[in-house]
């Protein structure tokens, strides 16, 4: 197949491009090389047909899409950002960009899309109260976070909750600007599929890590932030009490999930969400400690506090990905984190 990968020079997109090319596909990489993530075109773009350009440019897409069999849409502003002043840029890159792409795909008669979704659409993960059963806790209060009360209570009785696995049919509750734009992408793609008979997999990535992550930027993921601190000889600073649970999935496994999705068709006119995860929950503190140990660096420091919009626990149910795509993560936590401790990262512009 000839596959257009938007954001294909980036962290995840570049691994998707490499994986698909190794599988024998013809890959076209489109990337705007945003300075928040790139200091020029990375060397790995030399291995593919590369076009520097913006997914919000309909004329460019009109030239690229004819002859394309499928689109793998990775382009996005990612991460927690700085503050609400980021909102227009997030909405423009993530939602307007997706809308322009979908319109161009319709004009070109291209009907297969794999969307880089995100676990952030869930907000908090799944919880159970001993008295009230499955419940959805509300946003955590600033007063509780300041007092070191990090666990969300039952919204009915205030009792402690037991966190569990979140499945794709869970209620969606985005709690940051980035999360809201990722959910909007799904809504736009779902409407497009129903109107055109196209097919969409939304691969809801959990905490992806691995080589080529951007470094030293407020948009970087927590694994990169910890790595950068250790390289400076500093202890990783762990927010809250370090016991927040996540699912850390290696980028090579995410690339494999994209390849499986491109080779598997859902029903026409549908968007199917799928968790892309390791199925091996760990805490943020586990990650910091494992990275520090891997390079014999200073032990993590738990500093308390929390970023606005952060959730306490979100751990994925991997069952649907196994059932529909045959996807199982291959890289274990210990192996992946040890390799990541010395893997090459990517500097943003001016660094």
Active-site annotation, residues: 178
Distance of CA 278 to the CA centre of its chain: 13
Cα separation values, 308 from 87, 123, 145, Å: 14, 12, 10
Provide DSSP, 241-258.
TS--EEEEEEHHHHHHHH
Do 136 and 127 touch, CB atoms closer than 8 A?
yes
Measured from the Cβ of residue 289, the count of other Cβ atoms closer than 10 Å reads 19
Secondary structure letter of residue 91 according to DSSP = I
The residue assigned the tokens 């908090």 is 124
Distance of CA 35 to the CA centre of its chain: 19
- Using DSSP's 3-state secondary structure scheme, residue 14 falls into helix
For 266-292, the three-class secondary structure string (H helix, E strand, C coil) is CCCCEEEEEEECCCCEEEHHHHHHHHH
């Amino acid at each position: 197949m000839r596959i257009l990968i938007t954001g294909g020079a980036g962290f995840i997109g570049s691994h998707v491009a490499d994986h698909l090319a190794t599988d024998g596909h013809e890959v076209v990489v489109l990337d705007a090389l945003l300075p928040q993530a790139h200091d020029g075109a990375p060397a790995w773009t030399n291995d593919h047909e590369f076009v520097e350009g913006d997914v919000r440019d309909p004329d460019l897409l009109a030239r690229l899409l004819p002859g394309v069999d499928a689109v793998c849409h990775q382009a996005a502003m990612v991460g927690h950002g700085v503050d609400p002043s980021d909102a227009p840029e997030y909405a423009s890159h993530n939602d307007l960009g997706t809308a322009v792409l979908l319109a161009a795909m319709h004009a070109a008669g291209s009907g297969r899309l794999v969307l880089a979704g995100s676990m952030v659409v869930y907000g908090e993960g799944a919880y159970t109260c001993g008295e009230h059963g499955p419940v959805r806790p509300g946003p955590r209060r600033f007063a509780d976070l300041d007092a070191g009360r990090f666990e969300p209570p039952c919204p009915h009785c205030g009792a402690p909750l037991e966190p569990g696995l979140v499945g794709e049919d869970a209620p969606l509750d985005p709690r940051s600007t980035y999360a809201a734009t990722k959910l909007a992408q799904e809504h736009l793609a779902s409407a497009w599929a129903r109107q055109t008979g196209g097919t969409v997999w939304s691969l809801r990535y959990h905490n992806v890590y691995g080589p080529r992550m951007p470094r030293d930027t407020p948009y970087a993921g927590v694994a990169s932030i910890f790595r950068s601190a250790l390289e400076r000889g500093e202890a990783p600073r762990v927010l809250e009490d370090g016991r927040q649970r996540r699912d850390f999935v290696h980028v090579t496994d995410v690339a494999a999930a994209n390849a499986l999705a491109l080779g598997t068709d859902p029903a026409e006119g549908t968007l199917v969400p799928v968790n892309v995860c390791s199925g091996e929950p760990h805490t943020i503190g586990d990650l910091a400690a494992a990275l520090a140990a891997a390079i014999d660096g200073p032990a993590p420091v738990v500093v308390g506090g929390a970023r606005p919009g952060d959730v306490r626990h979100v751990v994925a149910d991997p069952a649907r990905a196994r059932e529909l795509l045959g996807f199982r993560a291959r890289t274990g936590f210990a192996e992946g984190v040890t390799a990541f401790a010395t893997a090459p990262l990517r500097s943003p512009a001016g660094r």
